[in-house]
Amino acid sequence: MVSVAELRERVNWKEGRISPAILFDEDVYELERERLFGRAWLVVGHEDMIPKPGDYVTNYMGEVPVMVTRDLAGKIHVLVNRCMHRGNQVCLFDRGNVQQFVCSYHGWTYDVAGKLIGVPLEEPLYRDELNKAENGLEEVPRVANFKGLLFASFDAAAPSLEEWLGEDVCWWLQTYVLVEHLGGLEMLPGWHRYQSPGNWKLHAENYIGDDYHVFASTHVSWFKVVGDLLEKGLLSPEMMTPGGERGTKYEGSAGAGYGRGIPFGMGMVVLDDSVYEFDLKEARRLGPEAVEWVQERHRRFQEVLKDREPKPYSFMNGAIFPNLGLMGFYSTAYGRHFLLFHPRGPWEHEVWQWTMVEREAPKAIKELAVQRVYRGQHMAGTIGQDDPENFERLTEMMRARRNWRRPFHYGLQLGHEAEGPEGLPGNLGPNPSEVNQRQFYKFWLELMESE
C-alpha cells in the first residue's frame, strides 16, 4: 500500500510538480477507490433525467454501477445495481420507466425504491425464513439535490452537500451553471459515451483549468478551419469562439484554499461585453425573439449580480471535483455539456456526457446551441475528438515506469495566482494558468491522506 509520505512526495502542488505515479500506480488507484470515490459527493445526474415516477437512469459512482430512480411517491433514490441474492446486475438499460427491476438469475424482484417485493417460490423454498426487509437493493446512503443537479455519496458520515461544496462554489454553481434566474436548464436525454485511454484525472484536470492547450496546440486545427471557412464565407459563425482582448478573460477558482469546500475551476471567465456583443450579433441573425432573449437574460444577470463587482458575463469550461466537467457556459447559443469522467482502472476511463440548454431561450437559439455541442466539444466533434489523443500518447509513454521519475510540470502562472480583479467569491487570476490543476491535486492529496 502506498504511504502518506509517498503520496506527499508525489503531489508537490505548491511547486507545481506532480508525479505520473498518482495516475498509473495500481496502489494509488486502489486507495482512490476507497478514499475518494468511496466517500466524495459524486454527481450522478440531473433530476430532469427522471421526471416521472418509475423513471430511472443508470450511471456509475467510481466503478460501481448505480440506478438513479424516482419512486412512485416522487422520491429520488440512488441504488447499487446489484441483486442482494447473488450479485447479478438487475438493470441492463441506460434509462427507462418501470414498475420494478427483476433479476434474470433467480427472479428476485425489487420496486423502484429498491425494496425487495418478490422472490420466486418464496413460500415453499424459504418457508418464511427470508427477511425481505433486509434484502432490498443497497441504497446509497446520501443523496442530495442541488437545484436539479443530483449528488450521492457512499459515506453515511459525509458532511452536508452544501458544506462539501463550500459557499463560494455554491454561488458559482447556481449563478453560472444552473441559472435559476434564467429559468433553469432543459434536458436533452441520452448519454453520449466513449472510452478514453489514461487515468480519469487527466480529463478532470483538463476541464478544471487547462485553457493553455486550447489555443496553444491541441485545438488549433479547429480554429484554422473555422477561420478559413469564415473568410471564404463558407461557414456560418456558429463555431466561432467569441473574441475578447487579452486581459479580459480570467481563470476562476473557488474552494480548496480559495474559500472552503472542494475545488471548482472555471476557465475563461469573461468580464467584458465581448461575448454579450457576440450573442447579440448572432441573435440578430436568428430573429427578434432571439435578440429579446439575449437582452432579457443580460438584464437578469445584471439583477442577480447587482451587489457584485466585477460582473462576469460567463465562463467557457470548468469542473467540479472530482469528476464532473462543464463546458459551454459562456454563451446562450452554446449548449451546456456536463461530462462525467468515470474511472476504469488506472489506465483507462470513460466519458459520459449529457446536454442541456437554457429552458426559456427561443427555439432558434436552442437548436443552434445543441448543434454546437455535438459539432464541437463532443466525442465526434471537431474539438472534443482531439483531447483523448493527447491522453493516449501520454499513457503510452507511462507504460515504462522509468518515465514516472520525472514529475509533470504544472508551473504555469505559479506565484501569479492573485493577479486578477477582486470582489467575487473565490479568486480570479490570469488565464491561461495551471492554478486550478494545482488546487485539484492539493485537495486530492488531502482526501487521500485522511483515513
Residue 148 backbone phi and psi in degrees, to 5 = 110, -30
Among residues 187 and 445, whose Cβ is nearest to another protein? 187
Residue 109 touching another protein (CB under 8 A): no
CA distance 323 to 325: 6
**Ordered strands of the 109-111 beta sheet:** 100-102, 109-111, 116-118
Residue 65 touching another protein (CB under 8 A): no
Among residues 210 and 417, whose Cβ is nearest to another protein? 210
Find the helix packing angle between 363-375 and 288-304, rounded to 10°: 80
Residue 190 touching another protein (CB under 8 A): yes
Listed as own residue / partner, the contacts of 110-117 with beta carbons closer than 8 Å and 24 or more positions apart are: 110/79, 110/136, 110/137, 111/71, 111/72, 112/53, 112/54, 112/56, 112/69, 112/70, 112/71, 112/72, 112/77, 113/69, 113/71, 113/72, 113/75, 113/77, 114/69, 114/77, 114/79, 114/138, 114/139, 116/84
Residue 136 touching another protein (CB under 8 A): no
Among 26, 72, 75, 97, binds another protein (CB under 8 A): 97
State the amino acid at position 409 in one-letter form.
H
Among 194, 289, 295, 442, binds another protein (CB under 8 A): 194
Q: What is the DSSP letter of 367?
A: H
Among 384, 407, 426, 429, binds another protein (CB under 8 A): 384
Map residues 229-268 to x or -, x wherever contact with another protein holds by CB under 8 A: x----xx---x-----------------------------
Among 107, 120, 141, 189, binds another protein (CB under 8 A): 189
* Total residue length of the chain: 451
Listed in sequence order, the residues at least 6 apart from 362 whose beta carbon sits closer than 8 Å to its beta carbon are 286, 287, 289, 290, 293
Among residues 170 and 187, whose Cβ is nearest to another protein? 187
Residue 345 touching another protein (CB under 8 A): no
* Interface with another protein in residues 394-413 (CB under 8 A): 396
Among 191, 272, 281, 300, binds another protein (CB under 8 A): 191
Residue 187 touching another protein (CB under 8 A): yes
Among 4, 216, 225, 397, binds another protein (CB under 8 A): 225
Residue 188 touching another protein (CB under 8 A): yes
CA distance 289 to 291: 5
Among residues 370 and 447, whose Cβ is nearest to another protein? 370
CA distance 314 to 318: 11
Contact window for another protein (CB under 8 A) among 188-196, 198-206, 311-319, 404-412: 188-196
Q: Name the region of 323 (left: φ>0; alpha: ψ -120 to 50; beta: rest).
A: alpha
What residue spans of 379-434 are helical by DSSP H?
387-397
Residue 174 touching another protein (CB under 8 A): no
Among 180, 389, 446, 449, binds another protein (CB under 8 A): 389
Min dist CB 67 to another protein, Å, is 11
CA distance 110 to 84: 10
CA atoms within 13 Å, Cβ hemisphere of 60:
20
Min dist CB 221 to another protein, Å, is 4
Min dist CB 441 to another protein, Å, is 25
Residue 153 touching another protein (CB under 8 A): no
List the one residue out of 260, 250, 272 whose CA is nearest residue 430: 250
Min dist CB 102 to another protein, Å, is 11
Min dist CB 90 to another protein, Å, is 12
Listed as own residue / partner, the contacts of 403-409 with beta carbons closer than 8 Å and 24 or more positions apart are: 403/20, 404/19, 404/20, 404/21, 404/24, 404/25, 407/10, 407/12, 407/17, 407/18, 407/19, 407/20, 408/17, 408/18, 408/19, 408/20, 409/16, 409/17
Residue 390 touching another protein (CB under 8 A): yes
How far apart, in Å, do the first and last CA atoms of the chain sit?
13
The dihedral over CA atoms of 177, 336, 313, 236, expressed in degrees to the nearest 10, equals 180
Among residues 91 and 161, whose Cβ is nearest to another protein? 91
Residue 31 touching another protein (CB under 8 A): no
Residue 148 touching another protein (CB under 8 A): no
Residue 117 touching another protein (CB under 8 A): no
Among residues 164 and 207, whose Cβ is nearest to another protein? 207
Residue 286 touching another protein (CB under 8 A): no
Contact window for another protein (CB under 8 A) among 119-127, 157-165, 284-292, 366-374: 366-374
Residue 10 touching another protein (CB under 8 A): no
What residues make contact with another protein under the rule CB under 8 A?
54-55, 92-98, 187-197, 217-218, 220-222, 224-226, 228-229, 234-235, 239, 350, 355, 370-371, 373-375, 378-380, 382, 384-390, 392-393, 396
